[in-house]
Structure 1
Amino acid sequence: MTELDRRSFLGRGLATTGGVLASGVAIETLTAHASWADAGRPAAGAHRAGYGPPARTPSKNTGEELLALPAGFSYVVLGRTGTTMTDGVATPIAHDGMAAFPGTRRHTVRLIRNHEVRTAPGSPVGRVLVEGSARYDELGVAGTTTLEVDLRSGEVLRHFVSLNGTIVNCAGGRMLHDRGWLTCEETTAGVAQGWRRKHGYIFQVPLNGPEPGRPAPSQPLTAMGRFSHEAVAVDPRTGYVYETEDDSGKPDGFYRFRPRDPRDLAAGGVLEMLKVKGADGYDCREGQTMGARIPVEWVRIDDPDPDLENGAQTCTQQGLAKGGAMFNRLEGCWYGDGSIFFNSTSGGDAKNGDAPGADGYREGYGQVWRYVPGRRDGGTLVLVYESPGRRELDSPDNLTFTPRGGIVLCEDDAGSVDADPHPLAPGLVNVNRLIGLDPRRGQPFEFAVNIADDSEFAGACFSPDGSVLFVNQLGDTVSPDPPGRTYAIRGPWHRGPL
């Protein structure tokens, strides 16, 4: 790509979005969500939602047809697996959860990106590693990388490992006051599986501090729980951290962590699981009504760091024993509109055909939930959207709010029986998409299609000025083929709900 092409691609957004947006504008413009979340049904005219049908689109900087996007949208590829970073390390595999922060210089953005590497202990394949750095587990293969991107030129200014010594870093969330990123391990593996240390924790990646060759020390926040973490979201009014759990084949819980000091999560606190008032073991996975307001309370997890190797009860077992509510594959989690929105990837009454789990539950096509904190009680739970089938929405994973009041859902097709082909991606059996939720109509619409391979979308997030949507293509979690990629998508956002 020439310098002129880069500037024309990434430079137009500052004008088309009406100038630089304030960092808090996303929260301030999300009140529209309440109308359709509480109504529990799509509004009239939902067929007009979105930006029009996607079409196969070549990348501006590589020429490869990797995405299908609506007319007027374009993209570049950043941080592909295998490319050499500023610190001399090869870009790892398995690009997953991510967040965008203001950069260190004007017109720049800093991305902190997870790598869900699932190789064997110490394996060099696609590993996140800086030799000699402070690592929690010397055999850890996963972690995070940080990219600094110039929004005008599209150039990656710096790209380096910002945390290593962990495993299976799936998603996470922004720290209080945007001081950095909370990265989550989606596993409870330990010494019995060949690692030096036990895993299943949340780690902090400061926004400022890590530099090329000097990643942040990886220290687990054990009071926040040891379980198969997926994502977190922080309520800026209280500092409470809400956490999702994704342990396939078993009921999962929705948690909150009440820290002693919201500015110092390492100081400890109380871990709790959501419970529906007056209904022990309430099953949120099916039989629910969109828009119904469900009063909830919270039960304490007495042992947030269980010794699983010696038969201790898991955090999930502890919470369910006290009547905690059951979900299925809780994944993406985001704060907005004074609420916490989160996805149940395989919840819902419309089933995908897979064999039932250990407790007999058959997976659905996905749910989007909203938790509204209460001032004098435990708060309220609302089912915002439930997919009636794969065409509308198939297995929502990560999610993000947009500066204009919409929601973007990253699909991670979880079904192994129900094939999910797409006319724009011939030859692929399970195709993943970015699905938008229109706050005015409450209707999902197809925004982007991964036409490169069958890996999931992950880590969707907007630049602070609202001009660029960054999103990852996971690639493979144990090999460099297919590779992980980060996309920067630019277009006429003002023409639609995202």
Structure 2
Amino acid sequence: MTQLDRRRFLTTAGGTVAAGLAMQTLGSHAAWAQAGRPHHGNPGYGPLRRTRAANTGEELLAVPAGFTYTVFGITGDRMNDGQPTPIAHDGMAAFRSQRRGVVRLIRNHEVRNPPGSPTGRVHIPGSARYDDLGVAGTTTVDVDPRSGRVLQHFVSLNGTIVNCAGGMMMGQRGWLTCEETTAGPKQGWQQKHGYVYQVPLHGPRPGRPVNAQPVKAMGRFSHEAVAVDPRTGHVYETEDDSGKPNGFFRYRPRNPYRLEAGGVLEMLKIVDRPGYDCREGQRMGSQLPVEWVRIDDPDPDLENGAATCTQQGLAAGGAKFNRLEGCWYGDGSIYFNSTSGGDAKNGDAPNPDGFQEGYGQVWRYIPHRNGKGALVMVYESPGRKALDSPDNLTFTPRGGIILCEDDASGADEDTHPLAPGLSNVNRLIGLDPGGQPFEFALNVTDDSEFAGACFSPDGDTLFANTLGSTNTVTPPGRTYAIHGPWRRGPL
């Protein structure tokens, strides 16, 4: 599920320091979890309390004392292009606007309705779009982060499906939005899907979304998120295809500023260990030497039985992961989450190949100058109380960490005293410098997950979505801007 604006902080001098501090925190968390006992002290910002939105008066989140929030961009709200705000608010990034004091958000909508369904879709009649029956896409929002007042809101890409997460383009010139599916004509769509698309920061405008065209050389698979290495222009891509072994991919473009000009798609492999299974049996901190295998057919004709990108990579000895989600660049490395990897099992039924899902892993890929590199598992959750299914891992501008949980298990229900009546709550989890997790925010109004967490360019505002429904207008998707005394605590 979702991508973050953390790369803005991690590619600057100050951001490199923040990334280093965050990695120290993550290492402390790993040590704390392995010891099986809590870190002493009072973590975080204190207990949560149900709090009303400053601009609407609705009681939607629980946050610590001293923090406030506004809510905007709600499903059904009329936008500047005359269309209602779509459903299924997912991955998102925050950019500097051309107007002072304004933040521009580009937000995915993971609409999962059938071809051409009008319910909650992302749609501008008569506009150029990849698939006329596509129901998903992106919206762009210009917002005053303090008041939550929306200055402009419009569809910026339509004609795609299941837009889950993504990442910032090279040079922060826009957003790369990803389809988390490989559906096509056999499922009723006019076009094949499973691609990455480019949404320029300043190109689209109300009533004139970008002409959505897939970057087919980046692969056709169930994409989740991407991260660009600013030193090389290589784009790293995660795959989230439930119930199957997933791959970690790299796209080496001919021109990092023109991804559509072509390039080479590759899948990560552990040197001398073909088919290595990263999903379980791993040791935190152990380095695995990496090489990359080429995907000869990045746009497979799946409708006629062609091998998937992952099948091609596995046949060449590629490594197996389980449900790869969040992905970002920082401190000279690429970090990515496996939502359901790990040895502590969540109780769900095994996958078809026998793998039983865990509570999550965090991986680090360290590129080397020879084009290869090393892979390190930097954290694995020992159980639900420590961390339940990490979707995004956010390095904050001050060197803290925020984790977006996506309760992936159907067998392990979570309740919370501040959210009576909800059987699966969703939280933003922070980590203190000693590695102890703490609750930072709780969705008290429905059971939809947090997504798209990202900080404003000045680091003062945390934006986040609650997904809402991917099929209906209730519960609605919402976007939040959270403010408070960040420097009082570890975030």
Q: TM class, shorter-chain normalised? A: over 0.9
- 1:36/1:372 CA distance change after superposition, 3 Å: farther
Q: What is the rounded CA distance, in whole Å, between the counterparts of 1:254 and 1:474 in structure 2?
A: 25
Give 2:307's aligned residue: 313
Name the SS of the counterpart of 2:32 in structure 1. Answer: coil
Q: What is the rounded CA distance, in whole Å, between the counterparts of 2:15 and 2:40 in structure 1?
A: 23
Q: What is the rounded CA distance, in whole Å, between the counterparts of 2:221 and 2:345 in structure 1?
A: 26
Code of the aligned partner of 1:114 = N
Name the SS of the counterpart of 2:61 in structure 1. Answer: strand
Q: What is the rounded CA distance, in whole Å, between the counterparts of 1:315 and 1:228 in structure 2?
A: 10
Q: What is the rounded CA distance, in whole Å, between the counterparts of 1:183 and 1:362 in structure 2?
A: 30
Code of the aligned partner of 2:21 = A
Code of the aligned partner of 1:356 = P
- 1:377/1:262 CA distance change after superposition, 3 Å: closer
Give 1:67's aligned residue: 61
Code of the aligned partner of 1:409 = L
- Give 1:45 shift: 3.9
Give 2:473's aligned residue: 480
Q: 2:161 aligns with which of 160, 164, 167?
A: 167
Give 1:190's aligned residue: 184
Q: What is the rounded CA distance, in whole Å, between the counterparts of 2:146 and 2:447 in structure 1?
A: 31
Q: Work out whether 1:470 is the aligned partner of 2:463.
A: yes
1:369-406 residue CA offsets vs partner (Å, 9 max, x unmatched): 11111123511111121111111111111332210112
Q: Work out whether 1:214 is the aligned partner of 2:208.
A: yes
Code of the aligned partner of 2:179 = E
Name the SS of the counterpart of 1:494 in structure 2. Answer: helix
Name the SS of the counterpart of 1:42 in structure 2. Answer: helix
User: Quick check: 1:341–1:371 contact (8 Å CA) kept in 2?
Assistant: yes
Alignment of structure 1 residues 243-258 onto 2, 5 Å: 243-258=237-252
Q: Work out whether 1:371 is the aligned partner of 2:365.
A: yes
Alignment of structure 1 residues 451-466 onto 2, 5 Å: 451-466=444-459
Q: 1:384 aligns with which of 378, 387, 391?
A: 378
- Give 1:218 shift: 0.1
- 1:47/1:375 CA distance change after superposition, 3 Å: farther
Give 1:11's aligned residue: none
Q: What is the rounded CA distance, in whole Å, between the counterparts of 2:64 and 2:359 in structure 1?
A: 24
Q: 2:346 aligns with which of 352, 370, 377?
A: 352
Q: Work out whether 1:26 is the aligned partner of 2:20.
A: no
- Range 150-159 or range 21-30, more displaced: 21-30
- Give 1:57 shift: 1.3
- Give 1:296 shift: 1.1
- Give 1:22 shift: 11
- 1:149/1:22 CA distance change after superposition, 3 Å: farther
- 1:446/1:153 CA distance change after superposition, 3 Å: closer
Q: 2:277 aligns with which of 283, 287, 304?
A: 283
Q: What is the rounded CA distance, in whole Å, between the counterparts of 1:293 and 1:48 in structure 2?
A: 33
- Give 1:278 shift: 1.7
Code of the aligned partner of 2:32 = P
Q: What is the rounded CA distance, in whole Å, between the counterparts of 1:363 and 1:77 in structure 2?
A: 34
- 1:421/1:221 CA distance change after superposition, 3 Å: same
- Range 82-91 or range 278-287, more displaced: 278-287
- 1:220/1:279 CA distance change after superposition, 3 Å: same
Q: 2:31 aligns with which of 41, 44, 65?
A: 41
Q: What is the rounded CA distance, in whole Å, between the counterparts of 2:40 and 2:465 in structure 1?
A: 28
- Give 1:49 shift: 3.2
Name the SS of the counterpart of 2:189 in structure 1. Answer: coil
User: Quick check: 2:92–2:452 contact (8 Å CA) kept in 1?
Assistant: yes
User: Quick check: 2:10–2:16 contact (8 Å CA) kept in 1?
Assistant: no
User: Quick check: 1:110–1:146 contact (8 Å CA) kept in 2?
Assistant: yes
Give 1:303's aligned residue: 297
Give 2:255's aligned residue: 261
Name the SS of the counterpart of 1:357 in structure 2. Answer: coil
- Show structure 2 runs of 5+ residues with no match: 1-8
- 1:47/1:371 CA distance change after superposition, 3 Å: farther
Q: What is the rounded CA distance, in whole Å, between the counterparts of 2:73 and 2:297 in structure 1?
A: 39
User: Quick check: 2:159–2:212 contact (8 Å CA) kept in 1?
Assistant: yes
- 1:46/1:228 CA distance change after superposition, 3 Å: farther
1:237-273 residue CA offsets vs partner (Å, 9 max, x unmatched): 1100000000000010111100011110000101111
Code of the aligned partner of 2:318 = G
Q: What is the rounded CA distance, in whole Å, between the counterparts of 1:454 and 1:408 in structure 2?
A: 19
Q: What is the rounded CA distance, in whole Å, between the counterparts of 1:345 and 1:448 in structure 2?
A: 20
- Range 150-159 or range 348-357, more displaced: 150-159
Q: Work out whether 1:231 is the aligned partner of 2:225.
A: yes
Q: 2:441 aligns with which of 443, 448, 452?
A: 448
- Give 1:47 shift: 4.9
Give 2:6's aligned residue: none
User: Quick check: 1:41–1:291 contact (8 Å CA) kept in 2?
Assistant: no
Q: Work out whether 1:342 is the aligned partner of 2:332.
A: no
- Give 1:337 shift: 1.3
User: Quick check: 1:81–1:484 contact (8 Å CA) kept in 2?
Assistant: yes
1:84-106 residue CA offsets vs partner (Å, 9 max, x unmatched): 01111100000000000001111
Q: What is the rounded CA distance, in whole Å, between the counterparts of 1:124 and 1:205 in structure 2?
A: 23
TM-score (normalizing by structure 2): 0.94
- 1:158/1:23 CA distance change after superposition, 3 Å: farther
Q: Identity percentage over the alignment?
A: 72
- Give 1:150 shift: 1.7
Q: What is the rounded CA distance, in whole Å, between the counterparts of 1:377 and 1:41 in structure 2?
A: 31
Q: What is the rounded CA distance, in whole Å, between the counterparts of 1:392 and 1:53 in structure 2?
A: 17
